Amino acid sequence: MPIRQMKENSEQHFVIKPQVQNSMTQVQKNQKNLQNGKGPPTQNESQNAKINQHNSPPSKNRGRRRGRGGRKSDQSDIPMRPSSRPCTIVEKSMSEFPAIGKPVENGSVSVENGGNVCAMDMGFPSSSKSLRFAPRPGFGQAGTKCIVKANHFFAQLPEKDLNQYDVTITPEVVSRSLNRSIMAELVKLYKESDLGMRLPAYDGRKCLYTAGELPFTSREFNIKIVGEDDGMNGPKREREYKVVIKFVARANLHHLGQFLSGKCADAPQEALQILDIVLRELSTKKYCAVGRSFFSPDIRKPQRLGEGLESWCGFYQSIRPTQMGLSLNIDMSSAVFIEPLPVIEYIAQLLGKDVFSRILSDSDRVKIKKALRGVKVEVTHRGNVRRKYRVSGLTSQPTRELVFPVDDDSNMKSVVEYFQEMYGFTIQHTHLPCLQVGNQKKANYLPMEACKIVEGQRYTKRLNEKQITSLLKVTCQRPKDRENDILQTVRKNAYDEDPYAEEFGIKISEKLACVEARILPAPWLKYHDTGKEKDCLPQVGQWNMMNKKMINGSTVSRWACINFSRSVQESVARGFCNELAQMCQISGMEYNPEPVIPIYSARPEHVEKALKHVCNAASNKLKGKELELLLVILPDSNGSLYGDLKRICETDLGLITQCCLTKHVFKINKQYLANVALKINVKMGGRNTVLLDAISCRIPLVSDIPTIIFGADVTHPENGEDSSPSIAAVVASQDWPEVTKYAGLVCAQAHRQELIQDLFKTWHDPVRGTVSGGMIRDLLISFRKATGQKPQRIIFYRDGVSEGQFYQVLLYELDAIRKACASLEPNYQPPVTFVIVQKRHHTRLFANNHKDRSSIDKSGNILPGTVVDSKICHPTEFDFYLCSHAGIQGTSRPAHYHVLWDENHFTADGIQSLTNNLCYTYVYFHFSFAFNFVSGMTNATPILQVCKVYALCLSW
C-alpha cells in the first residue's frame, strides 16, 4: 500500500548561592543540580523514568502511518536556558551516557542493542557531564550578499558590579503587583537612608538587584500599604508587612563579556536575567505586563473585536547575547483584553441581543457564567469608593427573587431592598441575575448594573472567526510601518532617561542593527516530462502549475461528495465536482469523473450521522470496497464543523477528505482548482514536484547515502484546557534521494508535555517478552520498505522548543532516536543532525532601503531565501535565521534554526541550502496559507510548519 503524503569554562563565574534562592520544589532543585553538573539523577528518579517512559504498552491514542485509506493501526518566553552548559559531543563511557556512546569508524555511534533506559524523569538530563551544543562551523558564503536591518538594538555592557539580595515578605503575598507596591513604598521611604541612595530593581518575587552594595547584609523593614480596592474618600484598609532583605551574592560582568566575545561557551544566564529585569523595571510600572510584552491603551487606541473584547497594542522586549554583544530585541505586539464596560453592556455585546428588557435563557446564563468567571469587577454604586471583586459565579434566580439573612435571627431582606436602603441605589433591571463574588460558603450578590469590568484584564480563551479576522486586520502591518513603530517605541521608552538603566550603567542604541545577509537561490523544480514545462525556477518565492503536470499523479477511482452548505444546490455542487475532476486530470492524475453515489446534502449538526451514512452507502454500492476520497463542501463560517469532521474521518472512519468552502464553489477559479488538485494528489500518495538537484544527486550530505529527514512537533491545548492531552506529531521522508514524500504519525501524551514520549518505547508482552516500538522505529521501518535501503544518515528538525528546553529535549529525544535504531539492528547507529526550529520569536528583518524595488518583494518584505548567520545570532553556537517564504501580507517572520547536534558535519552553507530547498517541495505549502496569508500562488514556507498539518490532519 502506498504511503500517504504528509505532509570551556571562563576565568570567573557568576554565582548565586543556592541556600538563599527562591523556595523551590525538590524537583526544581534536582533539575538545577543536574544541569550544573552537581550530581546524577537519584536512583528513584531513574527508576521512575524507566517506569514512566519505557515499561508501558503503546498508547491507545497512538496514531497510524498515514497510508491511503487511512485505516487505524492494529496496535492500539524568558526564553533563557536554565543551565549555562554549552554543546559538541563529549566522549563518555557507555555507563555514563549509554544512549550516545563513542563514535566508530563509519561515523556512526556504537550503542549496545537495546541500550540502557534513559535515566531521566520529566526532562532531567541522563548525564551529569557537560553537554555542548554544536559549535558554529563557520559562516555561510552562498547566495547574493546584501544588507538588512534587524529589530535588535545594541546594549552597552555595564561596568558596575551586580549584587543580588533575597526578599522575604510576611505575611506571604501571592500577587506580584502587590509585592511591587510594597517594595516601591520601601524604596520611597528608605532610599536616602537605609538603602544608601541605591535604586534597586525587583523581580516581583524573591530577588532584588542593585548596582553596588547596600549599607547592610541583612535588614528588616515594616511597610504599611493602603488597599488598592478602596476609593479616595472611602474607608481605607491599611495592611502592614514585614520585609526582610538579605545579601545573597556579588558578581561582576567579566564572564558575560568573555562569553559575548566568544572566548568562552558558558553563558552566564543569571547575569543576563538581571540585566533583563533592570531594563523591564520602568515599563513594568507604566504598562500592563503580559509575559515578555507590555501593553497599554495609551500606546494606540484599542480596537474592538466584538463580544466585549478589544485589542491592545504593545511591545515585546528581551535582552539577548549576540555576536555584536548585548542586544535588546524590541518588536510590536498585540493582545486581546476584556473591554472595560459596565457589566450589563458587556453581556449585551456577548449575547448580541437586548438584555435590558428580555429574560435570559438557560444557554444565555451558561455563556455569561463562563465568560465572567474569574473576571475582576468594580462597583459603581458607591461614588468614589470603587471596591474590586472577582466574579465566582451567577445566581440562578433573577435579582427580584433574591433574599438573604441580615441577622442571626434569620430575618430576611431582598437584594433590591438592601441596595435601596443601604446605598440609595435603585436596581432597574431586576429580571437579570446577580453576580456572585467571594467563595461558595460566603458569597455576596452584586447587581449587574452596579458593576463595571476592571480595565487591563487579558482574555486568554479561544476567539471566534470574526474576532480572529478583526485581530488580524489590526496586527497585520507592512514592514515599513512595523519598522517605524518599533523605532518610535524605542524613542518613547527613552532608555537614556530610564533611571534604572542609568543606575546600572546600561546604554541602549536607538538605531536598528544593520546586518550582513545573503539571498540563497531558489532550487529548480522538476515536473512530469509530458507537461509543456518540464521544470521550473520559482521567482520571488512563487510559482504556479500552469503548463505543468505532477511528476507522480495518483489515482482516484472511488470518491463521493457531501455538502454541508444550505446555499449550495446539488447542481452547483455537481458542476464544481466536475470542474475539479477535470483539473485533476489535466494536472496529471487519474481521476474518475463520476462519484460512487450522488452528492449527499446534510446539516452541519448531523455531521457524524451524515458521514457514516455516506460511507455505508458507498460501501454497499462498491460491494465491500471503501471510498478513497471524500470531497466536503463547508459553509464559509463553519465553527467547529471542520474540526469535528476531520476528527471523525481521521480517527473513526479512516477516510481521506478534501474540504472546500462555499465561496470557492460558487466562484470557480482555475488557480484555486489547481491548488486543490495538488493537495488531493499529495493526500492520495502522489508527488507534485521534486527538487532537480535531488534527482541529479547533487544535494550534499543527502544524495550521497540513504538519508531520512524527520520533522517533529508537539501541539498543546489552549489556555484553560486543563485536562486535554498534548498531541505529538512526527513526519519522515520516504523516497530517498528525492526526500519529497512524507509519512507521519501522531500520538496523544501528557497535558503540556513538550518531550515526545512515544519516539521510542519498550513494554513487556506475555507472549513475545520485551517488545520495542515507537514512532521513530516505525518510520525507519517504513523508509526501508519504501526504498529498499536502511537510512545511513538522520536529519531531525524539531519545532516549537524554547531555549530553556534545549538540553532536556536534545538529551531525551536524541536518546530515543539512538534506542530506536539499536532496537532494529545491533550496532546500527546512523549519524544524527538535530535542528531546533523556532517560529515564536520576535526577530524581524527589514530591507535596508524600502524604496529599492530590487531588494523587496511585492509586499515590501525582504526577498525569500534571505539568510542571516552573523551579528544578531548566537556568539558561538550554530544557528541562523532563514526567511524562505515570500510575504503576502504583513511582515515576514524568519524561522530561527539552531543546530544543537551535528554528527554529519554540515557546513553553514550545507544546512542552510538544504533547509531552504526543502521549503520548495510541495508538501510544505499548506501551512503557508495560515502563516503567510497565501492566496492563489504556491508559496514556500519553513520546513517544520508542515508537521502539524500533515501528521495531525491534512489542511484544506
Q: Is the pLDDT of residue 192 over 60?
A: yes
The pLDDT of residue 93 is: 29
Model pLDDT, residue 790:
95
C-alpha cell at 914: 538544504
CATH class of 691-838+929-955: alpha beta
User: Residue 103 in 3-state DSSP?
Assistant: strand
- The Cα 839–Cα 541 span in angstroms is 19
CA 329/CA 78 separation, integer angstroms: 12
681 has pLDDT over 70: yes
pLDDT at 78 over 60: no
Q: Are 473 and 334 in contact (CB under 8 A)?
A: no
Distance CA 501, CA 257 (A): 18
Residue 540's pLDDT band, with cuts at 50, 70 and 90, is confident
Cβ atoms of 320 and 152 within 8 Å: the answer is yes
Give which of 489, 551, 487, 891 is closest to 692, Cα–Cα: 551
Given a contact cutoff of 8 angstroms between Cβ atoms, the answer to whether 389 and 444 are in contact is yes
Q: Residue 869: pLDDT above 50?
A: yes
Q: State the pLDDT at residue 405.
A: 85
Q: Are 603 and 635 in contact (CB under 8 A)?
A: no
Confidence of residue 45 (pLDDT cuts 50, 70, 90): very low
Please give the Cα distance from 329 to 244 (Å, whole number): 34
Q: How far is CA 848 from the centre of its chain?
A: 29
User: Residue 4 is which amino acid?
Assistant: R
The answer for residues whose C-beta is within 8 angstroms of residue 738's C-beta and 6 or more apart is 687, 690, 691, 694, 695
Quick check: 331 pLDDT over 50?
yes
Per-residue model confidence as pLDDT tens digits over 133-155: 999 999 999 999 999 999 999 99
Asked if the model's pLDDT at residue 37 lies above 60, the reply is no
DSSP H or E run through 214: none
Q: What is the mean pLDDT of residues 799-806?
A: 92
pLDDT tens-digit series, residues 3-19? 333 333 333 333 322 22
First to last CA, the chain: 24
Burial code of 875-894, b = ≥16 C-beta within 10 A, e = fewer?
bbbbbbbbbbbbbbbbbbbb
Separation of alpha carbons 13 and 159, rounded Å: 16
3-class DSSP assignment, residue 728: strand
Least confident of 52-56, 108-112, 273-277, 465-469: 108-112
Judged against a pLDDT cut of 80, whether residue 560 lies above it is answered with yes
Which regions of the chain carry the CATH code 2.170.260.10? 343-454
Angle CA 335–728–767, to nearest 5: 160
Q: What is the CATH number of domain 343-454?
A: 2.170.260.10
Burial of 82 (0-12, 13-18, 19+ CB in 10 A): middle
pLDDT bracket for residue 236 (50, 70, 90): low
pLDDT band at 441 (very low <50, low <70, confident <90, very high): low
Checking DSSP bridges between strand 309-322 and strand 293-295, what pairing results, if any?
A: antiparallel
Answer for the pair 121, 28: CB distance below 8 angstroms, yes or no: no
Say what the pLDDT of residue 114 is: 34
Question: Which letter, b or e, does each residue of 317-354 get, where b requires 16 or more Cβ atoms within 10 Å of its Cβ?
Answer: bbbbbbbbbbbbbbbbbbbbbbbbbbbbbbbbbbbeee
Q: How confident is the model at residue 930 (pLDDT cuts 50, 70, 90)?
A: very low
Cα four-point dihedral sign 936, 939, 945, 947: positive
What is the pLDDT averaged over residues 515-522? 95
| Mean of the per-residue pLDDT values of the chain | 82
Rounded percentage of the chain residues whose pLDDT exceeds 90: 58
Please tell me the distance from the alpha carbon of residue 663 to that of residue 576, in angstroms, as a whole number.
Answer: 11
Per residue in 931-954, pLDDT (tens digit) is: 222 222 223 333 333 333 333 333
Mean pLDDT of 414-439: 91
Mean pLDDT of 234-261: 86
For CATH 3.30.420.10, list the domain ranges present in the chain.
Answer: 691-838+929-955
Average pLDDT over residues 865-893: 93
Residue 225's Cβ-count burial label (10 Å; 0-12, 13-18, 19+) is middle
Gap between the Cα atoms of 732 and 746, Å rounded: 12
- Looking at residue 232, its pLDDT comes to 39
Residue 58, C-beta contacts closer than 8 angstroms, at least 6 positions apart: 75, 76, 758, 761, 763, 773
Q: Which burial class, exposed, middle or buried, applies to 408 when counting CB atoms under 10 A from its CB (0-12, 13-18, 19+)? A: exposed
Sequence length of the chain is: 956
Report angle CA 349, 354, 359 to the nearest 5 degrees: 115
Output phi, psi for 57, to 5 deg: -70, 170
In whole angstroms, give the CA distance from residue 701 to residue 794: 10
- Locate 897 and state its grid cell: 534554526
Query: Quick one: CA torsion of 462, 464, 466, 468, rounded to 10 degrees?
Result: 30
In degrees rounded to 5, what are phi and psi of residue 18? -70, -25
- Mean pLDDT for the stretch of residues 688-706: 90
The sign of the CA dihedral 411, 413, 419, 423 is negative
- Phi, psi angle pair for 883, to nearest 5°: -100, 90
Has residue 28 got a pLDDT over 60? Answer: no
Over 239-278, what HEC string results? EEEEEEEEEEEEECCHHHHHHHCCCCCCCCHHHHHHHHHH
pLDDT single digits (tens) 288-329 = 999 999 999 999 999 999 999 999 999 999 999 999 999 999
Q: How many CB atoms lie within 10 A of CB 405?
A: 10
pLDDT of residue 231: 41
Quote the pLDDT of residue 696.
86
Of 53-57, 212-216, 585-589, 783-787, least confident by mean pLDDT is: 53-57
**Of all helices (H) and strands (E), which one includes residue 796?**
strand 793-799
Residue 345 and residue 351: Cα distance in Å, rounded? 10
Assign 48 a pLDDT band (cuts: 50, 70, 90): very low
- The model's confidence at residue 59, banded by pLDDT at 50, 70 and 90, is very low
User: Residue 897: beta bridge partners?
Assistant: 837, 880
**C-alpha cell, 513:** 542593527
Task: Please give the average per-residue pLDDT across 527-540, as a whole number.
Answer: 86
pTM of the prediction? 0.81
Query: Which residues make up the CATH 3.40.50.2300 domain(s) of the chain?
Result: 553-679
**What pLDDT score was predicted for residue 5?**
33
The domain 553-679 having CATH identifier 3.40.50.720: the answer here is: no
Distance CA 87, CA 836 (A): 13
Q: Which three cell numbers stand for residue 439?
A: 467563595
Q: Would you state the pLDDT for residue 39?
A: 36
C-alpha cell at 792: 545511513
